[in-house]
Structure formats: structure tokens, C-alpha cells
Structure 1
Amino acid sequence: MTLHTSLTVAVGLLGLLNLLLMVGVIRRLGAHTAKLTELQHRVNRGAGLRAGGRIDRFEASAVDGTAVSSDSLAEGTVVAFFKPGCGPCKETQPEFVEYARTSPLGRDGVLAVVVGTGDEVREMVAALSPVTRVVVEPLDGPVAAAFSLEGFPTFARIGADRKVSAIGHDAGVLAPEADTALV
């Protein structure tokens, strides 16, 4: 009888310990879920900058040697951020190249920023350079910082007074009717 009682108490204590551990795991999962949700919201915005926000001042140099700055971005200018090795960047790059090639804004009304260094950027720069100005910079470069870049690809249309009229991951931002909408 004492063996039976001892085993029942041991199984009860083991069940209680299991219950306490499960409560801890569930709490921990809730904390991680909140962090992941917040991160997903940041990534889905496309950038830290939202439509209506003003881009910070910056100065950079395009691969063809021309100066590019926040003051040189006229109203309607489209800025796209790409990163080598980014699957969605590779998927949207041809659409962006076609947009830049046929844009009524001309080559100066479209800016592509390739984030990376060395040989990894060569292929993207070669595809983009004939149709747009291209800036190559590291992730913490001046253009990426001016847009508070947080994800790739990111497309932005500049409105009046260095304000962003549309911004997001989707190339739909390239259409003028996307202005004032967060895509």
C-alpha cells in the first residue's frame, strides 16, 4: 500500500512539474510571438519611412560618377533599393528595369540603390546602369540611412519637399496612382 501511495504522489508531483513547465513555455512563446509580430510589421512597411515622411538629407555618388543627393530628387522621382542574394529583389528587378526604360521621367527620374560591395553587386549594376542612375553602398550607406531602410526590395516615389508619396516592397509603388498609399 505504501508503494502504491508513493507512486501516486510521485506521478502527481511529476504532473504538477509538467504543468508548471508548460505554463513557462506558453508564456515564452507568447513573448516570442509578440516580437515576431512587431518584426513582421516593420518588414511589411518596406522601410522605416512611411508615406508622407520626409527623407533625410544625403549625398552619394552614382557608379557613373555623377553626384546624387536628397536635393537632386525631383518630385516624382522613383528610388528602388536592391540587394544581391535577395530572392524578391531578383524577381522584381526585371519589372523595375522595364519601368525605368519606359519612364517618362527619364534616366534622371529613377534611382536604383544596390546595397552590397565588391563582386556581389556587379550583375545588378550591369542590368540597372543602362536605364537608371545607380548608387552602390553598404547597408549603412547614406541613401539607405536617409530612407531608414529596413527591407528589400523597397520602392519609393518622392513627392514634393523631399516627402515620400508612396513606399513599399511591391513594385506597384512605381505607378503614380500609388501616391499617398502605403503598398
Structure 2
Amino acid sequence: MLFLSTAVAILAALVLADLALSAAVIRRLRETEAKLIDMTSPPASGLPIGSPIPHFVSPDGQVSNADLAGSPVLFGFFSAGCRHCPAQAEALADRSQEIASTDVRVLSFLSVGEDAADELGPTLQKAGLLVIDDSPSAVMAAFQVQGTPSFVLFGADGRLAARGHDLSEVLGSR
């Protein structure tokens, strides 16, 4: 009987030690996950919420800020070499009818380098007006966009309502 009691006590001690180690490992994994999310999330940049639409003219002269006055506008910024852009372009095309039903105009800017193929153009054309730029865009600089994909949503009052790198975070429940 003494042997059995000793074995149970040792086993209980081992189980408690295992639980303590498991809790420490889980805590460390959560801390590491939080650090990874911080490292991989693009920094918050761009125009402050509430800013007016900046003055701009598209590189092809097709559209300017004056053409968009009085209506809500969703700007999307994409580049041909961006690995996250195809998924966001597809999401924008998929939600284009839903966005149009809320009277939001969609304007996409696609930066295409000399060596890059324009694979996103056909998808982005489904969502609204598309402006293709073959050089670093002055429009991106005007909107203080530092990475693609990026979205900025202006309300009918011409003020920035939302911005982000993911369409769903910008549109929210719209």
C-alpha cells in the first residue's frame, strides 16, 4: 500500500510540473504571436481621420479631386509586384455591387513598373474607375500611402472616414 501511495504522489507531482510547464509555454507562445503580429502589420500611416481629400490629378489627367466633390469615394492603391494585392483586388471586385449600392464611387490606382505585368487591371476594372501609373505615383504621395494594398474612404463631406490595408477593415459594416 505504501508503494502505491508513493507512486500516486510522484505521479501527481509530475502532472503538476507538466501543467506548470505547459502554462509557461502557452504564455510564451501568446507573447511571440503578439510580437509577430506587430512585426507583420504595416505601420499606421497616411492622412489622419477627418482630413479633407487632398488635391490631386491622376497621371493620365482622367480624374482629379474636383471631379469627386460631394460624393463618398473609396480609393484603392495597388501595385503589380505586391503579393497581397491580388486578394484585395478580388475582394474589391466581389464587393463592387454592394459598394455601388451605397453610392460610394470606387477609384483604383495601379502602379505597374516597366518589368511588371498588369495582371490586376482586369480585376480592378470590375470595381470602378482604374488609373494605371507606370511610375511612382504623386497621387500616392498626396494621400500619404506608404504601402500597397491600401484603401482610403472619404465621406460625402470630403473628409477621411476610414483607412487601412484590408478592404473589410475600411468598409466595416458598410
Residue 46 (structure 2) aligns with: 48
Q: Could you report, residue by residue, the CA deviation over 1:25-84 in whole angstroms, capped at 9, with x for unpaired residues?
A: xxxxxxxxxxxxxxx699321x4212212232011156xxx7211122243211111111
5 Å-filtered alignment, 1:11-160, equals 43-45=42-44, 47-60=45-58, 67-73=62-68, 74-104=70-100, 109-118=105-114, 120-138=116-134, 140-160=136-156
Higher percent of residues as helix? 1
Residue 160 (structure 2) aligns with: 164
Partner of 2:84, secondary structure, is helix
Q: TM-score, normalised by structure 2?
A: 0.64
Counterpart amino acid of residue 128 in structure 1: L
1:99 Cα offset (Å): 1.5
Q: Distance in 2 between matches of 1:103 and 1:160?
A: 14
Q: TM-score, normalised by structure 1?
A: 0.61
Does the aligned pair in 2 maintain the 1:100–1:107 contact within 8 Å? Answer: no
Q: Over aligned residue pairs, what C-alpha RMSD do you find?
A: 3.1
Does the aligned pair in 2 maintain the 1:55–1:164 contact within 8 Å? Answer: yes
Q: Distance in 2 between matches of 1:113 and 1:49?
A: 17
Q: Distance in 2 between matches of 1:90 and 1:55?
A: 26
Does the aligned pair in 1 maintain the 2:71–2:103 contact within 8 Å? Answer: no
Q: Could you report, residue by residue, the CA deviation over 1:102-122 in whole angstroms, capped at 9, with x for unpaired residues?
A: 422589810111122346252
1:131 Cα offset (Å): 3.1
| Cα distance change, pair 42–95 in 1 and its aligned pair in 2 (3 A) | closer
Report how many aligned residue pairs link the two structures: 136
Counterpart amino acid of residue 52 in structure 2: R
Partner of 1:92, secondary structure, is helix
1:175 Cα offset (Å): 2.3
Does the aligned pair in 2 maintain the 1:128–1:134 contact within 8 Å? Answer: yes
In structure 1, stretches of 5+ residues that fail to align are 1-39, 179-183
Q: Distance in 2 between matches of 1:150 and 1:163?
A: 20
| Cα distance change, pair 88–42 in 1 and its aligned pair in 2 (3 A) | closer
